[in-house]
Structure 1
């Protein structure tokens, strides 16, 4: 027994998806007995859309019979495209080892089913609009497209990422398109600028190839538009007017409001500040010294002048956040004053402190005119009527042990219970000691610190140090205060405003109390 001999009439076949192609195959039986051959179509992949009629041939010895092969490739993304090799196999049913195959090729045409979708179809803006384009492939072959955008008036520029996309069978790919106006408009009405986006085949089609009428499934196209707005709309102009008026108001308020320099913002603007602890002490007949502990995460302080019932008579906002002491001046002598302090963080104001009160000192009495009596011993005056009286020597301060507060034309006035802290001490024998002390006091005043200079023996004899319990030598003293306690005086002296100008250990004094013994 021998293998059959096969002959295929046409080895090159062409068919379109959804169409049909036929070929005839002849089977020769070279043997000596009648053979029955089973026919089928084989290939690299199964070809379920190929059919052999009849599927079995009976062939007499040295005779031949013919069968027909029909190819019906389907349409859509599941269908094949391009060249499909195939084989026709004849296998003996008497002896399965006897078989033969004849080969051929089937060329299946490509079917394009590309679709495009633009989202949004119309964008709007002053300078640019953003779009997303999607390509879907419902054909039977993958496609590569180059995305091209254009507008008829050339009023737009386009940025496409990516500009070349591969679209597999049954898949969808996405690209982004930015349409930007070439001529921004300052004022006016909105303008609609149409444009078109095309997915061009890549590589391009051969030149002279006929175009498909209507929508071309191999060259998807979609229309879009960009609505250009003017830069200055009516709302923008109105908002700018309101902002300008607000800025003018803020500037006018900053120039006309009372208070010191603008506070330095150091808070986060969202946390409610804590409650300050405020103390007050008389600093003279017309001033009161206020001292408080510094609070964190705030922008400034607000100081309130209140009466005994807690009613606010006057307020002073914008007190510098770095400040921990303030001397209120211009007050009346011998009057009781109360104050409250609150911390400010952005637009949030914390609870006010408890009222801190103090009474200003009494006014210094006017000195009596000098007497014409001799200064030594007792003094004799002759009032009208010829009565002669004797007055003791003027030595009250010496007899009571109080330091003299009337020596020097600008001697400061202190009351019992008041404390001061020395920022700097300079021996009076040094050259320019007085000038240097007054210069340092002026520098501290310019930084917001109520500092003064005095001559320990010339202006205020009897001043003594708390730590040494000894009278001061012939020194010039630059001091801060007075305060209600030594700790308050030291806190002012060790504040950042003072320490940045002159680092000091801050010796403390109680001027109105004589040294013990």
Structure 2
């Protein structure tokens, strides 16, 4: 074998978004000057770089090249082991190409965000919201959801109450908000609440919202009913007064006094 190559650190563990390096030692054991083309191959190739990527060596000479790995902090690079190889191709003796291998372990990270839609709702008997949860991390995450409010004035129904979100995806859940007690009349009341999404590992995500509870009989309805009652009463009074006025305006017929004799003349006598 005219070419030998080895890695000083065949296994690396890196945080996502961090940078690490391994050094390749290359030796020319042939009897001619050899030029080598160096290239990283395998799943880690998109975020790996080797410098220099071409070297020339005299017989019996050796040199080093640096392989740098830069996995981005994103869901596109999942946590786990990535096998890589350094393809070393001699120009003069391509049949003596070598491929030293190594492993880069990308460590897991969590990054979960959420949004409550809409932030504010309104209704007499409650309303429906939706929660969108994004997993920006590089591992699946399971999240428990729960609703709460100061004073326990609202009731919450979540469907589903638990979500498993794959890296780089979004999942939704419906949140039904219901007032614990009705407001029969008066002015609307604003109820503040929060939906908490708690991952198995990592900090919880707190989503604030509000619900405006309308009374069952709003003031405008009460005013309309009172106005109609007043109008009905006024019309009834006006009708009675009209009837009484007509009765009083009719002429009266004379009535003979009780016990008075009628003066009836015989027939034919004027």
Per the normalisation by structure 2, the TM-score is 0.71
**What is the SS of the residue equivalent to 1:153?**
helix
**Partner in structure 2 of residue 122 of structure 1:** 120
State the alpha-carbon separation in 1 of the partners of residues 13 and 2 from structure 2. Answer: 30
* Shift, 1:69, TM fit: 0.6
State the alpha-carbon separation in 2 of the partners of residues 223 and 169 from structure 1. Answer: 25
- Please tell me whether the aligned partners of residues 3 and 100 of structure 1 are also in contact (alpha carbons under 8 angstroms): no
* Shift, 1:241, TM fit: 6.2
**Partner in structure 2 of residue 28 of structure 1:** 27
**2:216 maps to 1:231:** yes
**Partner in structure 2 of residue 181 of structure 1:** 179
- Please tell me whether the aligned partners of residues 147 and 199 of structure 1 are also in contact (alpha carbons under 8 angstroms): yes
Deviations along 1:59-103, one digit per CA (max 9) or x if unpaired, are 444543221111122344445543322112222221222122222
- Among 70, 73, 97, the residue aligned to 2:71: 73
- Please tell me whether the aligned partners of residues 78 and 167 of structure 2 are also in contact (alpha carbons under 8 angstroms): no
State the alpha-carbon separation in 1 of the partners of residues 98 and 209 from structure 2. Answer: 61
State the alpha-carbon separation in 1 of the partners of residues 89 and 146 from structure 2. Answer: 56
Residue correspondence of structure 1 range 29-44 to structure 2 within 5 A:
29-43=28-42
State the alpha-carbon separation in 1 of the partners of residues 9 and 151 from structure 2. Answer: 56
**What is the SS of the residue equivalent to 1:185?**
coil
Q: Residues 3 and 228 from structure 1, CA distance in 2 versus in 1: closer, same or farther, beyond 3 angstroms?
A: farther
Q: What RMSD in Å do the two structures reach over aligned CA positions?
A: 3.2
- Among 47, 50, 65, the residue aligned to 1:49: 47
Structure number with greater Rg is 1
- Please tell me whether the aligned partners of residues 116 and 131 of structure 2 are also in contact (alpha carbons under 8 angstroms): yes
- Please tell me whether the aligned partners of residues 73 and 80 of structure 1 are also in contact (alpha carbons under 8 angstroms): no
State the alpha-carbon separation in 2 of the partners of residues 51 and 140 from structure 1. Answer: 22
* Shift, 1:167, TM fit: 3.8
**What is the SS of the residue equivalent to 1:10?**
coil
Residue correspondence of structure 1 range 367-406 to structure 2 within 5 A:
none
**2:48 maps to 1:15:** no
Deviations along 1:385-443, one digit per CA (max 9) or x if unpaired, are xxxxxxxxxxxxxxxxxxxxxxxxxxxxxxxxxxxxxxxxxxxxxxxxxxxxxxxxxxx
Residue correspondence of structure 1 range 302-381 to structure 2 within 5 A:
none
Higher RCO by CA contacts (8 Å cutoff, separation 6 or greater): 2
**What is the SS of the residue equivalent to 1:24?**
strand
State the alpha-carbon separation in 2 of the partners of residues 149 and 105 from structure 1. Answer: 44
- Further displaced range: 28-37 or 190-199: 28-37
Number of matched pairs:
233
* Shift, 1:111, TM fit: 5.0
Q: Residues 157 and 109 from structure 1, CA distance in 2 versus in 1: closer, same or farther, beyond 3 angstroms?
A: same
State the alpha-carbon separation in 2 of the partners of residues 192 and 83 from structure 1. Answer: 52
Show structure 2 runs of 5+ residues with no match: 232-270
State the alpha-carbon separation in 2 of the partners of residues 236 and 50 from structure 1. Answer: 71
**Partner in structure 2 of residue 96 of structure 1:** 94
- Please tell me whether the aligned partners of residues 29 and 59 of structure 2 are also in contact (alpha carbons under 8 angstroms): yes
State the alpha-carbon separation in 2 of the partners of residues 49 and 93 from structure 1. Answer: 26
